Amino acid sequence: MPAVQETVDQVRRIDVDQYKYGFETKIESEKAPKGLSEDTVRFISGKKNEPEWMLNWRLEAYRRWTTMREPTWARVEYPKIDYQDIYYYAAPKAFKAPKSLADVDPEILATYEKLGIPLKEQEILAGVRKQGEPSQLDDDEMNGSEARGRVAVDAVFDSVSVATTFKEELKKAGVIFMPISEAIREHPDLVKKYLGSVVPITDNFFATLNSAVFSDGSFVYVPPGVRCPMELSTYFRMNEKNTGQFERTLIIADKGAYVSYLEGCTAPMRDENQLHAAVVELVALDDAEIKYSTVQNWYPGDAEGRGGIFNFVTKRGDCRGPRSKISWTQVETGSAITWKYPSCILRGDDSRGEFYSVAISSGKQQVDSGTKMLHLGKNTTSRIISKGIAAGKSNNTYRGLVTAHRKASNARNFTNCDSLLIGDKCGAHTVPYIEAKNSSATFEHEATTSKISEDMLFYCRQRGMSAEEATALVVNGFVKDVLQQLPMEFAVEAQKLISISLEGSVG
Amino acid sequence: MTAEVRTIKTAAEQALAETYAKAKGTLPGAGTIATLRDAAFRQFDAQGLPHRRVEEWKYTDLRALVRDAKPLAAPPDASAKATAGKIAAPFSALKPRQLTVVDGMFVADQSDLTAEAGLRIGSMSEALVRGDALVAAHVGKVFETADPALALNTSLMGDGAVIHVAAGTQVARPIALIFAGTQDAAVFTRSLVVVDKGATVTLIEIHESGSTQVNTALELVAGEGARVDHLKITRAGALHLSTLLARIGARTAFNSFAFTRDSTLVRNQSFVRFAGGNTEAAIGGLSLLKGKEHVDNTLVIEHAAVGGVSRERFRSVLEEQGRAVFQGKIIVAPGAQQTDAKMLSNALLLSDDAEADNKPELEIFADDVQCGHGATAGALDEELLFYLRARGIPRQEAEALLVQAFVGEVIDSLPQDSLREPLMNAAVEWLRARG
């Protein structure tokens, strides 16, 4: 079945030449000298006033990186990256943490406004409204200290965090939410204990590069038994030319804690490619839960494949304690190249990992994305729902690994990955690895729409729907389920995708 | 696609190089065949034995698993030739035309070479020496692949069968190709089957290779509107590498099934290209494993033309420390619209030490297609067991029933009734032996 017109239109609306966030902010930047060497690493570390141990950690990563080769196993093709032709650090000039509106550069303010961060948030971002003070923008909703619907934002502009909101209020709850560069100085014990414990510095080429040169990112620590009172979010913006963005995020949910974290990203349109190599580490201790959502909308390049972000990201969560849970939700529409496999290490007994993904590629985008679920503990469960939609001349690959180790008795996994092709110049690929090393493990993998419950179809058809309508209804409902994993704050982006129908999809 | 620089040769690789250097002058075929061998060996030598970093061999690491490469087998003696007689016994009801290859040599006096209109049968080594036109036209050309096991086969290929079914011929009796191994040595067999337009043939390949190391390859060309049913039965006590290369023409029905049991280390790899439109194919397999047995079924299915329908269905039952590997890649080429391909792989783990690795891949470049794959791995359903036990059936018997049902389902997918029974008998025999 070919795609229905409605889907075609929807995808068209977010096609590469429709990129809305491609403007550039004219702002003076301070950059590290071009290229990568031990001096660059020292420069970045110095800029961040880092303690000695952190510098040594970075240098160790750098030395390791020089011995590594770029991986070639993914189904992506791109010109060789010249790692000496990139600025590894760029920050708005004379940047200081803003204490009031006057301190935040108006250009940056304007940037965030253009990016459509809701005014309310921006108001907070700019520091106009004080904590607990009702907003002038709405009368009823935000009254009182009720935290409902509020989001604390950490805005990262090139290599630095320009503002973090709601810090004080979060502090009251005991939650630490700050740029990681600050955390390294203020909470060295926590950072030392957890940084690199999920993604070690030797992990892979891009993660090692990140370990050497990461500049900023968010740090979250939720103490035992605390349910984080609001959604936390980071908005990444790449602005400067020829720079790479290397952010590092570390989230720790201590025993019984809960946190929901959102991440958004955009970049200006440029003819050259820019590198983004991030590392995200999540640690969930006993009974803790982390929900991590991403709307990735880096500049995808133009219709001819010029420019665009190379997005090489290592994201991994460690369900370290029993009954912990980590859930990844991603909506991927941007980047020229996406190389991204948010994974879960299900170490604790009865822990649970989830991965929900909608990846849409058009133009000449190449997506190679998926997940890894490593079942190590007993009674661990995981669920993978992946929807790939390829249009234009793009290639969209799902690559996933599910494995149960000898001791992971009663491990369970359910995987469903569907893809849809729009046009005959694109490609959709599925590369799942399913390794069962335990007889009590139950793994189910399916990549087809024909597995829609016959009962549901029968129910719809009995009420007069055609087979196609019935399928569309059931599948749409299902996609909605995936998108509903996204917190409300990302509804705007998610809306664009919500009506995409996956009927006519191929495995 | 080795990511690393070629390292020092293993003992097995060195032995293979020596074998080739020594045998080169005496291997059948000169001229273009000798050139083909040389090119293939250079290709193998550059890659070496495939290892876990070679994506296609990720789960069957020959560099680690193959410690020694045995010398080439000597021609079989009379008693060795006689052993081949009984191998086809389970299929005697089908009265197959039996062709025998013992220790890598086509044995004419143990083969039924009675004439039949439209059917030509001969030995591969003779064809290679003679410069047979059919062999020259097809050997090494049916499916382009850089696979190292095939490269090794091409460089050292000795003997095998050459079968040509002329256009429109309906071969009445199934052809049973018996491969027997009696020596502690290595054989490299190569066969070619060309089925012309509108012809029909059933091919039963039976391998009983004992402790002989086997590297066998079969090239199959099926013309327009033909029908080919292929069954491969393997019991191998030593390394057994098998490659099927097939090019299928328009409106052809093609069925292929691989049954493997009691085998130490088997890799069955099939490369099938649906070159013409509106083909129909069923490709399947059943592997029964115990001890430390390792069976790998790897498929590359390429739908290169419109309207191809294919069903891939593989099952394995694993006991003790058995390891079953299934890798299936379905490629739908640009323009191969209305392709309908469904692949399913199920592994039944009866022991905590067993391992099942599944990698069902899809690579799709056409938008109006239906492709799907499913894969499961798990133990017997406790609820089903409970149901049976609640009705007074002892656990062991209940298990046996369920395993038999699991196995039966995939055997039932065979296209001919007469092929099912011998397979089911062999499977039941295996199940009984596990107790």
The domain locations on chain B are: 75-381, 382-435
Residue B374 to residue A446, Cβ atoms within 8 A: yes
SS3 for B182?
A: coil
Nearest C-alpha in B relative to A404:
B355
- Please give the residue that has the higher pLDDT: either B399 or A113: B399
Interface mutation target, options B54, B367, B376, chain A, most CBs of A under 10 Å: B367
- With beta carbons under 8 A apart, name residues in chain B contacting A446: 372-375
Mean pLDDT of chain A: 79
The model's pLDDT over A152-172, given as tens digits with 9 standing for 90+, comes to 777 777 767 666 667 778 888
Mean pLDDT of B26-50: 94
d(C-alpha B287, C-alpha B296), whole Å: 9
Residue B160 has pLDDT above 50, yes or no: yes
DSSP code per residue over B56-105? GGTT--HHHH----PPBPPPP-HHHHHHGGGTTGGGGGG-PEEEEEETTE
- With beta carbons under 8 A apart, name residues in chain A contacting B371: 448, 506-507
Partners of residue A398 on adjacent β-strands: A369, A430
d(C-alpha B261, C-alpha B232), whole Å: 11
Mean pLDDT of B51-70: 92
**Partner residue opposite A429 with nearest CB, options B334, B349, B363:** B363
Task: Give the range among A95-99, A222-226, A295-299 with minimum mean pLDDT.
Answer: A95-99
Residue A133 has pLDDT above 50, yes or no: no
d(C-alpha B312, C-alpha B373), whole Å: 9
User: Which sign does the torsion angle of CA A155, A156, A162, A163 carry?
Assistant: positive
Contact with chain B for residue A432, Cβ under 8 A: yes
Contact with chain A for residue B32, Cβ under 8 A: no
- Please give the residue that has the higher pLDDT: either A299 or B46: B46
Give the list of residues 6+ apart from residue A73 with CB closer than 8 angstroms, or none.
Answer: B1, B3, B55
User: What pLDDT was estimated at residue A120?
Assistant: 44
Judge whether A367 and A359 are in contact, CB under 8 Å: yes
- With beta carbons under 8 A apart, name residues in chain B contacting A11: none
Judge whether B318 and B347 are in contact, CB under 8 Å: yes
User: What pLDDT was estimated at residue A35?
Assistant: 86
User: What pLDDT was estimated at residue B258?
Assistant: 97
Residue A436 to residue B357, Cβ atoms within 8 A: yes
Q: Which residues 378-407 of A are in CB contact (within 8 Å) with B?
A: 406
Task: Give the range among A462-466, B32-36, B138-142, B152-156 with minimum mean pLDDT.
Answer: A462-466
Residue A430 to residue B361, Cβ atoms within 8 A: yes
DSSP 8-state assignment for residue B151: H
Residue A272 has pLDDT above 80, yes or no: no
Nearest C-alpha in B relative to A434:
B358
Judge whether B228 and B255 are in contact, CB under 8 Å: yes
Residue B389 has pLDDT above 90, yes or no: yes
Judge whether A22 and A269 are in contact, CB under 8 Å: yes
Interface mutation target, options A72, A368, A434, chain B, most CBs of B under 10 Å: A434
pTM confidence score? 0.84
Q: Measured at the alpha carbon of residue A442, what is the angle toward residues A440 and A445, in degrees to the nearest 5?
A: 160
User: What pLDDT was estimated at residue A359?
Assistant: 84
Judge whether B243 and B219 are in contact, CB under 8 Å: no
Mean pLDDT of chain B: 93
Mean pLDDT of A369-386: 93
Banded model confidence at residue A127, pLDDT cuts 50, 70, 90: very low
Contact with chain A for residue B375, Cβ under 8 A: yes
Q: Which residues 123-162 of B are in CB contact (within 8 Å) with A?
A: none
Residue A506 to residue B371, Cβ atoms within 8 A: yes
The model's pLDDT over A447-506, given as tens digits with 9 standing for 90+, comes to 753 334 567 778 888 998 887 676 656 655 555 655 666 665 555 555 444 333 333 333
- With beta carbons under 8 A apart, name residues in chain B contacting A441: 349, 377-378
Contact with chain A for residue B356, Cβ under 8 A: yes
Partners of residue B98 on adjacent β-strands: B176
- Token pair 């010029």 is found at A306
Contact with chain B for residue A324, Cβ under 8 A: no
Give the list of residues 6+ apart from residue A371 with CB closer than 8 angstroms, or none.
Answer: A328, A341, A342, A343, A344, A355, A357, A384, A386, A400, A401
Task: Give the range among A486-490, B98-102, B115-119, B350-354 with minimum mean pLDDT.
Answer: A486-490
Banded model confidence at residue A445, pLDDT cuts 50, 70, 90: confident
Task: Pick the closest to residue B99 from B164, B175, B172 (CA basis).
Answer: B175
Mean pLDDT of A281-297: 91
Residue A421 to residue B364, Cβ atoms within 8 A: yes
Task: Pick the closest to residue B328 from B284, B293, B295, B292 (CA basis).
Answer: B284
Min Cα distance A507 → chain B (Å) is: 4
Q: Which residues 64-103 of A are in CB contact (within 8 Å) with B?
A: 69, 71-73
Q: What is the SS3 assignment for A371-424?
A: CEEEECCCCCEEEEEEEEEECCCCEEEEEEEEEECCCCCCCEEEEEEEEEECCC
Q: Dihedral angle at the C-alpha atoms of B406, B411, B413, B417, nearest 10 degrees?
A: -140
Q: For residue A249, give Cα distances in angstroms to A14, A191, A194, A453.
A: 28, 11, 11, 40
Task: Give the range among A3-12, A143-152, A200-209 with minimum mean pLDDT.
Answer: A143-152
User: What pLDDT was estimated at residue A139?
Assistant: 37
Q: To the nearest whole percent, how much of chain A has pLDDT over 70?
A: 73
Neighbours of A457 (CB within 10 A): 16
Mean pLDDT of A47-57: 91
Give the list of residues 6+ apart from residue B35 with CB closer than 8 angstroms, or none.
Answer: none
User: What pLDDT was estimated at residue A496?
Assistant: 46
Q: What is the SS3 assignment for A111-178?
A: HHHHCCCCHHHHHHHCCCCCCCCCCCCCCCCCCCCCCCCCEEEEEEECCEEEEECCHHHHHHCCCEEE
Contact with chain B for residue A427, Cβ under 8 A: yes
Nearest C-alpha in B relative to A391:
B367
The token pair at A395 is 């290639």
Task: Give the range among A248-262, A477-491, B253-267, B411-425 with minimum mean pLDDT.
Answer: A477-491
**Partner residue opposite B354 with nearest CB, options A3, A428, A439:** A439
- With beta carbons under 8 A apart, name residues in chain B contacting A440: 352, 379
Banded model confidence at residue B277, pLDDT cuts 50, 70, 90: very high
- With beta carbons under 8 A apart, name residues in chain A contacting B370: 1, 448, 450, 506
Interface mutation target, options A73, A438, A444, chain B, most CBs of B under 10 Å: A438
- With beta carbons under 8 A apart, name residues in chain A contacting B357: 433-436
**Partner residue opposite B365 with nearest CB, options A1, A427, A431:** A427
Min Cα distance B84 → chain A (Å) is: 38
The token pair at B401 is 């029933």
- With beta carbons under 8 A apart, name residues in chain B contacting A506: 362, 364, 367, 369-372
d(C-alpha B406, C-alpha B395), whole Å: 16
Residue A73 to residue B364, Cβ atoms within 8 A: no
Contact with chain A for residue B311, Cβ under 8 A: no
Banded model confidence at residue A307, pLDDT cuts 50, 70, 90: confident
Distance of CA B274 to the CA centre of its chain: 18
Contact with chain A for residue B342, Cβ under 8 A: yes
- Please give the residue that has the higher pLDDT: either A78 or B266: B266
Task: Give the range among A98-102, B168-172, B280-284, B394-398 with minimum mean pLDDT.
Answer: A98-102
Min Cα distance B2 → chain A (Å) is: 10
What is the DSSP pairing of strand A366-369 with strand A337-340? parallel
Mean pLDDT of A222-240: 85
Residue A424 to residue B370, Cβ atoms within 8 A: no
d(C-alpha B18, C-alpha B34), whole Å: 17
The model's pLDDT over B195-234, given as tens digits with 9 standing for 90+, comes to 999 999 999 999 999 999 999 999 999 999 999 999 999 9
Residue A423 to residue B367, Cβ atoms within 8 A: yes
Nearest C-alpha in B relative to A428:
B364
